[in-house]
Structure 1
């Protein structure tokens, strides 16, 4: 449909130029026209009936015989047209009825006015006016009927036999009347059609508004996204169906009047209003809301502010992100928490530590960092299995979590290492008191499958800003303090001191120098003979590491032992020594020098080397040396370094290949007799600390006697280390010790002197 406001009207008649538009106008007004016409016809019949009754007073006169027939015709045509309009038809039908009534009525009335009654002149003027103004015909028929009626009225009123002197004036008056009435009809037509167009436009606007409202209501109700309309004061205007489903019931059932009753945190709504006030709309405001079952849901609000009818409204769309938040939480926890203990992992610890230090710097308070290492974890794993170890870690994590306050952090860095950030314990005294609680709490035993398990912990402490200010430096400080706690005997806490870093730097420098020394072949074996105390014969040697330092001269391991705390460096030097010893044995054999068995010391760190025996045997095989010419010496700490199965496997591989195994420094470590039975040990070496006092200290003498008796009972060779005096040698010989080693017989010597040493005459016998 075209725009009603642009429909052109005739400039003369005021009707629509478009016939279809004019027909639509007439058709829409047809019921009103019929009602109007019926009223007009009935009124005409009624008035003319009254006039007919009045005309009976002229009975017997010539006027009576003119008036009565004319009145009867007018009444008859009016009634006939009335009944004709009872049948509903179109405008054209109605117009034909109107024209029939107009022309017949005009002729009858023209006949009446020829009698020149008192009302004749009034009727002459009145009837054309009625045709123009009252009868709703089209403009052309209104003009035709009006002009025709006027002519008929003039002819009837001015019959030839009764011409009057004022004929011209009456004609001019009729002309003026018709012109005026034509203008009135044209203007009326225009106004009625403009009014109709306005009504159509208003109706269309209302229809469109109703359609839009219906569409909006339907969309509002059926859109799957929860929508809520509220006033700024919080009063609820409307929910859609999705919102009812989201909240679990309608607001009437829920019995709520204000949106504030839905917010889990009412302060969030103030923040939401502030965003809308500032920006007018938002699409990503996150909050929590309470639903009908009492549960809390995470939602994302997208809202806009509207002004309607002088009131402010807010329409908000709710997106339930509870599951998404839960999934994000799961992903975040998986990425930031240790799966075994559910404690923060290293990455989250690092983030929180940096945040804690930044806040401490801003507020001017201290932060304590505790690095915790569980001393007994390895033995628990070995003795009871990994399930017990996991349970132990979980229990220790639970206890640590229970000790800290809100705002502090407990994290697991990996293995048996934990870390605690104390933000609430801001003084040195509070930190020390807390550490004592930690040590006591971790020592408290718990039961696992009938076994009592207790933990011991070594703890390193670093404090911001007393020790350092950077996270990496503080962590290094705590690590140095932890190392010191372990070196002091474990199960204790040590606070960082600057000299620890100095020692560590010296150790690191020394480690780099040793690496360079290995590369430059400055680490060499020195050989100390093992002697048969009875015959004085040399039965073999022990290879001892010496560092031929370019500026400090010959250095023994005691001067650079701290460097071997680095496992990788210990392995590097150990492999280098094996290779050098194998080369020396090959050279001696090539010169016809029988050196017996040469013992090589293996460190605990080397037992962490996967494939140790295979690698060792491969080195001597490439050197062309048979395994029977070598012996390995291990200390009792080897049994604590790896699982019993691993150590047993490595030692058995050595034993099966022909390499002899000696347990060095026996009596100074943690080994028990079960280790002598469990592992393929061939020789026992009595530590020199017992030999030193054997002549004057009854306890040392008792230990030496016990070890000699043990060796005989187990059919193992016993070798006494550190023999330096004739008295020590005599004591050992009297107690049945056959093999000894010490400076009394020879100091450790370079490989180049071994041949000459062995070529000498038989050594003296004490």
Structure 2
């Protein structure tokens, strides 16, 4: 072994024995490269055991390990050589022959010991002493050659014949046993026959020198045969190794594959079956007819696929197969397979069937389809499945009424959901769904179409049948729903349409039921309404109002108009009420009655109020800028504006942005704003406005359901007597009494009183006599645009001066 230090020129490398290779790693950082030079004997044995044919390492090891195989040939060679040496020593007990015998015996024992030791190491997975075995083999061959040459030179032709025949036999054994290592075999043949050729040339007999010529030719032939045999063996072993690797790879692929693979004979018998791990034992299907392993109704399709594959056309099909009935019940579940069938490439005519288990995929698909057709919360069919069911029902009904569709809406669900939370709302919907199921027949469909809306499709040939189902629903809902110990009262509005009376298409039937539901909800809720053609008119009117309101907002055609409020004692204008007007697509000015439905829509009504507020404040800002003494402007506000929250902040911010005083506006609300679940929000918003200095007016007083306590609970500054009382002054003593009472009540509470709808001088005179503060109506002026307000105020000033002068 030589040690060389990297970092120096090649000419300066210093070689030294490895045992003297010592250096200080702390002081030197040069990398040390150690070259191991094998001993000459080691190089010799490696050369003997190698060959010019390049083979994989595994095969090379197998060839070299042949030194420790073929025990009969090994023992035959050792015993044969010992026997010849024994005969030679017996016939000629001389020193050379006795030495040969003893050497053969000793060498045989050593070689046997090495052979046994090598086999044990191979059994333990370790490398046997191949180099030692090769050297010992060469010594043995040389011993045979020297002994045989001694026999030839002895002049004992019987002994020479025996030795030569034995040597020939041993040469055959050498070639047979060591063809995996041709160099070693050639060397041993040379060592065994070389001395014989030399001995032949040294004899006195004139014929024996022929051996010296024949033996080299024989050795060359043996050499050629050994190397040819070695090459053939290497090719065979390489092919065998490749085949084993291929078979191993194929087996690994088969074991790793999730697919079932079968090979079928012409009669459809299974002759091979490879099944993924964890399945049935493969031999349970061997010899069975593949077609009989599937349901009878699936066999025709499978037969067609087999015929198609037999015609060299790949075939595929999807089948559901039932496992063997001998299995445990929990394993006897149908499984789905995606099957591909092809004909083998040989001439056997067999078919290869590859079946992939897609049961999990099928279940996933079925689950996905179910989820696509059902409501996740209640498990009921959803709108998509409802529509399909309606289409099927319409396709199968006759001319008479045979079915009905009911659309059911949970009354006040938003209020319930807000009070108990979303968990409570979900629990209510689930309980509601269960009670709907209990209220209908076995073949009827119950679906959830979204939110708090459900739909039924029931068998019904008369109005009585629908009414009976509705009564069953109301009976089911009569018992409160228990949610965590809290009882939830639940009612529903129901709209119904008949199939096919009310339409021949799905959309017509659903629209008719929707219209009937709208009629039920507007009629007071918790009731059933069955579609009638007259309902369509009201719905269309409602939709038209909504559309007109949206159009007015989109095109910004909302124009505030102002009706003056007159101080009855002085006949002077003390302020105005802002009234909504809008222009249609033809430019005609329209009143709020034509968009009345929009004010009931929470989102749309809020947008209308917001637009009016901003436009009124813009007009007030313009009047203020020119110094116009307009008093104040009353703005009507609906309950929905308060319940959305932040209304007072929005008004105050708008005033501040325009630098307007709070006294320039009043907020008018009706009595029903104080009622319902949002009364607390209304009170909070009104107090915020009042605290800021904005006066609050209670509009249409006397027509709603407000109690007198509301006048003290809420910050009210003005009472407005509804026009229905004012218009009957002079014709109804009851109206006059109510009007007089309201005026006195308001004054007692310190409130200012405004009378709406004054149209005659007699009405004005009566109101003045009972000390009503302010009047408003057509007697003074109709609502006017902002541009006409200055002229109105100027006229009012003139009228006031005339009144003072009179």
Q: TM-score range by the shorter chain?
A: 0.5 to 0.7
User: Which residue number corresponds to residue 299 of structure 1?
Assistant: 336
2:355 aligns with 317
Q: Is the 8 A contact 2:632 2:664 kept in 1?
A: yes
Q: Assess if the C-alpha contact under 8 Å between 1:409 and 1:421 holds in 2.
A: yes
User: Aligned residues, how many?
Assistant: 566
**Alignment TM-score, normalising by the size of structure 2:** 0.54
Q: Residues 88-99 of structure 1: matches in 2 within 5 Å?
A: none
For 1:242, what is the secondary structure of its paired residue? coil
- d(CA) in 2 for partners of 1:655, 1:619: 16
Q: Using a 3 Å threshold, how does the CA distance of structure 1 residues 620 and 466 change in structure 2: closer, same or farther?
A: farther
Call closer, same or farther: CA 1:379–1:536 in 2, change over 3 Å: farther
Structure 1 residue aligned with 2:525: 490
Match of residue 613 from structure 2? 578
Partner of 2:410: 374
The match for 2:696 among 644, 651, 661 is: 661
Query: 1:761 aligns to what?
Result: 800
Shift of 1:630: 1.0
Give the drift of 1:319.
1.3
Aligned twin of 2:429: 393
The answer on whether the counterparts of 2:756 and 2:777 sit within 8 Å (CA) in structure 1 is no
Residue 543 of structure 1 pairs with residue 578 of structure 2: yes
Tell me how far 1:633 sits from its aligned partner. Answer: 1.9
- Quote the RMSD (CA, aligned, Å): 5.9
| Distance change >3 Å, CA 557–CA 321, structure 1 → 2 | same
Equivalence for 1:600: 635
1:330-349, aligned counterparts within 5 Å? Answer: 337-345=374-382, 349=383
Summarize the alignment of residues 216-295 of structure 1 with structure 2, pairs less than 5 Å apart.
Answer: 222=255, 224-225=257-258, 227=260, 240=274, 242=276, 245-246=278-279, 267=297, 272=302, 276=306, 283=316, 285-287=318-320, 289=322, 292=328, 293-294=330-331
Could you tell me whether the CA contact under 8 Å between 1:458 and 1:482 is conserved in 2?
yes
2:389 alignment partner, one of 356, 366, 382: 356
| TM-score, normalising length: structure 1 | 0.56
| Contact kept? 1:631, 1:659, Cα under 8 Å | yes
| Structure 1 contact 340–394 (Cα < 8 Å) conserved | yes
User: What are the residue-to-residue correspondences of 1:435-450 with 2, within 5 Å?
Assistant: 435-450=470-485
Aligned in 2, Cα 1:551/1:88: closer, same or farther, shift over 3 Å? closer
* Superposed counterparts of 1:170-189, under 5 Å: none
Where 2:524 maps in the other structure, the secondary structure is coil
Give the whole-Å Cα distance in 1 for the aligned partners of 2:292 and 2:754. Answer: 87
| Superposed CA offset, 1:510-554 (max 9, x none) | 55556666747574313142656x887765432223457798976
Q: 2:593 matched to 1:558?
A: yes
Aligned position for 2:469: 434
Report the Cα offset of residue 631 of structure 1: 1.4
The CA deviation string for residues 545-566 of structure 1, in whole angstroms up to 9 with x for no partner, is 3457798976543355245455
Q: Tell me if structure 2 keeps the 8 A contact 1:297–1:320.
A: no
Give yes or no for contact 1:530–1:542 (8 Å, CA) kept in 2.
no
Cα deviation digits, residues 277-301 of structure 1 (max 9, x gap) = 6666654515364673257465323
1:43-192 pair list within 5 angstroms: none
2:276 aligned counterpart, secondary structure: helix
Of 437-446 and 635-644, the range deviating more from structure 2: 635-644
**Superposed displacement of residue 302, structure 1:** 1.6
Question: How far has the Cα of 1:424 moved from its partner?
Answer: 4.5
Match of 1:27 in 2: none
CA apart distance, 1:376: 1.5
Looking at CA atoms only, which structure, 1 or 2, has the larger radius of gyration?
1
Change (3 A) 1:546 1:392: same
Measured in 2, the distance between the counterparts of 1:271 and 1:339 equals 37
8 Å CA contact retained: 1:272, 1:285: no
Query: Quick one: distance in 2 between partners of 1:461 and 1:233?
Result: 63
Judging changes above 3 Å, is the alpha-carbon distance between structure 1 residues 761 and 667 closer, same or farther for their aligned structure 2 residues?
closer
Distance 1:508 1:382, change over 3 A: closer
For residue 454 of structure 1, what is the aligned residue in structure 2? 489
- How far does residue 601 in structure 1 lie from its aligned partner after superposition? 1.0
1:707-726 alignment runs, 5 A limit:
721-722=756-757
- In structure 2, the partner of 1:415 is 451
In 1, distance between residues paired with 2:665 and 2:412?
35
Q: Which residue of 2 aligns with 1:9?
A: none
Distance in 2, Cα, partners of 1:759 & 1:737: 23
More deviation, 695-704/446-455 = 695-704
Match of 1:480 among 503, 515, 526: 515
